[in-house]
Amino acid sequence: MKKIAFTCLGLAKQDGQLSVFTDIVKQNSLTTALDALNSKWGEYSISYGSMLGSAGHIHDAIAFGK
């Protein structure tokens, strides 16, 4: 039997599911940076490689702020 222990410090309320296997801070920073670039230069100016060629095919299910 193996045991894993976690110590949590400085907890704050945050929406969404957290994972111990991904770096949420880096992921949120990347998303913020991509949003800023796309706001300045236009939608799909920069995106994840997996979304390559998807411009015009992916739409918001709920158009917030539109």
Per residue of the chain (66 residues), give pLDDT as tens.
788 888 888 888 877 776 777 787 888 888 888 889 889 988 877 777 776 666 666 555 555 555
Instruction: Output the pLDDT for position 55.
Output: 60
Instruction: Output the pLDDT for position 14.
Output: 74
DSSP for the chain? ---------S----SS---SSS-HHHHHHHHHHHHHHHHHH-TTSS--GGGTT-TTT---SS-TT-
Model confidence, pTM:
0.46
Report the distance separating Cα 33 and Cα 27, nearest Å.
10
Amino acid at 58: I
Instruction: Output the pLDDT for position 53.
Output: 66
